[in-house]
């Protein structure tokens, strides 16, 4: 009985039309191939350590430390059009079209002006220079799907304004994107791996959500690129949730079977956990995991009796709210896996705070299969609004402010 209702929940999570949102499509495919050029030749990790001698201690003030015992994930969104947004679409040249809602025609802009206010403390003010000082000589990498890519882009936009032109660059090295900050010998990177473990959707642009097949016990292809990274930020959810069953292999690579999504998710996380316990160094490497990013596909969940989605929403939800799209069994699996790990992974539980933000998705002002929507598609938001991805500037900036707060909290100067 219980399983049945779970299956129905997963079943209804992604209407068929949404499959196309998770896929970049041929337009983007061609574009990316052009842009990536001969990027395989691009030498990435030959890091001269010449900047080491300029290393200065990071000055951390009392306001930079989140009060002991404060849960930054409990709080509310407050109107703040003085400090927010932290950057603009115009000031950040690194945003992709998928997230620049205003430029794509979104008429309202309230969604950019909300600040997350924890109940019992304040988040430190985001200081790009301080973050770069903490990242000096280091690599920060975001791993996951297109939601995680937005968090990567947000981070790039949050820091890029303090770096002079010519001292920063964004390179595509599929399945990665790499933002390098020369002066700090640092990089902020993104790695496409929608299931974390290996799958037939690992190609950065040519991938499908309809014919997914996941290798639940394989991570070798990816982990090589992750093991040298100083700070890793993982995320994986929405690609699992297309149907209640998922084709996967475990053991024999030729033996494809249908697994319950929950079983498959648990096995994949175990593979990931075992890798970390055996290969990462807890003294020099830091790992974060972002909890699921919520979707707002059904307006009846916050507005009983209505029949729409997140389109035309201009304000956050006030008061308690948890949408059915954020699967609690998956949350429990995540919780259990992290508990059992020897390696210390910090869960950034951003689901609840993002649940309130029904107003902040790209809706009809994003892309589908790599293209902006046509006029006809825009006139049919019930079928074409994207209620998975977020506009930038927007909610992913807050996730990064929280990540920044944790990095500050754990930072120690080695003088």
Ligand X SMILES: *[C@@H]1O[C@H](CO)[C@@H](O)[C@H](O)[C@H]1NC(C)=O
Residues with catalytic function: 146, 386, 389
For the window 269-298, what string marks contact with ligand X as x by the rule CB under 6 A?
----------------------x-------
In angstroms, give the least distance from the CB of 184 to ligand X: 25
Residue 109 binding ligand X, by CB under 6 A: no
Told to check if 218 binds ligand X by CB under 6 A, we report: no
Q: Which of 8, 125, 335, 371 binds ligand X (CB under 6 A)?
A: 335
Asked if residue 3 binds ligand X (CB under 6 A), the reply is: yes
Contact status, residue 322 vs residue 302, Cβ threshold 8 Å:
no
Of residues 84, 161, 80, 71, the one with CA closest to residue 123: 71
**Number of other CB atoms surrounding residue 270 within 10 Å:** 18
20 binds ligand X, rule: CB under 6 A: no
Q: Which of 258, 279, 306, 371 binds ligand X (CB under 6 A)?
A: 258
Note whether 377 binds ligand X by CB under 6 A: no
DSSP 48-89: --GGGGG-------GGGSPPTT--TTSEEEEE-TTT--SS-T
Decide if residue 352 touches ligand X (CB under 6 A).
yes
Pull the structure tokens for residue 121. 């403390």
Using rule CB under 6 A, residue 260 touches ligand X: yes
Subset of 71-90 contacting ligand X (CB under 6 A): 81
Contact between 323 and 296 (Cβ < 8 Å)? yes
Q: Determine, following the binding rule CB under 6 A, whether residue 349 of this chain makes contact with ligand X.
A: yes
With b for 16 or more beta-carbon neighbours within 10 A and e for fewer, the 233-252 pattern comes to bbbbbbbbbbbbbbbbbbee
Q: Which is nearer to ligand X, 50 or 339 (CB)?
A: 339
Tokens 């290798």 locate to: 215
Residue among 197, 189, 173, 179 nearest 141 (CA): 189
* Residues that bind ligand X in the complex, under the rule CB under 6 A: 3, 29, 34-35, 37-38, 81, 206, 243, 245-247, 258-260, 263, 291, 312, 331, 334-335, 344, 347, 349, 351-352
């Amino acid at each position: 009985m219980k399983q049945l209702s779970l299956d129905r929940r997963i079943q209804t999570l992604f209407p068929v039309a949404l499959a196309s949102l998770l896929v970049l499509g041929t337009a983007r495919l061609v574009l990316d191939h052009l842009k990536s050029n001969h990027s395989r030749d691009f030498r990435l990790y030959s890091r001269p350590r010449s900047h080491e001698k300029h290393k200065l201690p990071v000055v951390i003030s009392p306001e930079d430390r989140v009060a002991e015992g404060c849960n930054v994930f409990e709080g509310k969104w407050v109107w703040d059009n003085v400090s927010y947004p932290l950057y603009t679409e115009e000031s950040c040249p690194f945003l992709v079209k998928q997230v620049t809602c205003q430029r794509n025609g979104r008429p309202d802009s309230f969604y950019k002006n909300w600040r997350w206010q924890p109940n019992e403390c304040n988040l430190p003010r985001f200081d790009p220079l301080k973050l770069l000082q903490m990242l000096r000589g280091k690599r920060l990498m975001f791993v996951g799907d297109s939601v995680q890519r937005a968090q990567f882009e947000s981070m790039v936009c949050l820091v890029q304004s303090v770096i002079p032109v010519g001292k920063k660059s964004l390179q595509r090295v599929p399945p990665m994107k790499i933002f390098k900050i020369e002066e700090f010998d640092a990089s902020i990177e993104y790695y496409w791996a929608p299931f974390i473990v290996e799958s037939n959707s690992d190609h950065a642009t040519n991938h499908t959500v309809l014919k997914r097949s996941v290798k639940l016990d394989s991570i070798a292809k990816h982990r090589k690129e992750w093991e040298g990274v100083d700070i890793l930020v993982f995320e994986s959810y929405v690609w699992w949730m297309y149907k209640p069953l998922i084709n996967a292999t475990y053991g024999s690579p030729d033996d494809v079977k249908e697994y319950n999504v929950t079983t498959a998710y648990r096995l994949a996380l175990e593979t990931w956990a075992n890798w970390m316990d055996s290969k990462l160094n807890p003294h020099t490497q830091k790992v974060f995991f972002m909890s699921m990013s919520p979707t707002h596909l059904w307006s009846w969940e916050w507005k009983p009796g209505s029949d729409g989605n997140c389109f035309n929403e201009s304000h956050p939800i006030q008061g308690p709210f948890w949408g059915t799209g954020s699967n609690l069994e998956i949350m429990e699996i995540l919780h259990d896996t992290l508990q059992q790990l020897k390696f210390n992974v910090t869960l950034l539980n951003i689901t609840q705070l993002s649940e309130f933000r029904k107003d902040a998705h790209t809706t009809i002002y994003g892309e589908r299969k790599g293209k902006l929507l046509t006029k006809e598609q825009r006139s049919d938001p019930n079928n074409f609004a994207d209620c998975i991805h977020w506009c930038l500037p927007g909610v992913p900036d807050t996730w990064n402010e929280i990540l920044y707060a944790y990095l500050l909290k754990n930072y120690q100067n080695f003088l």
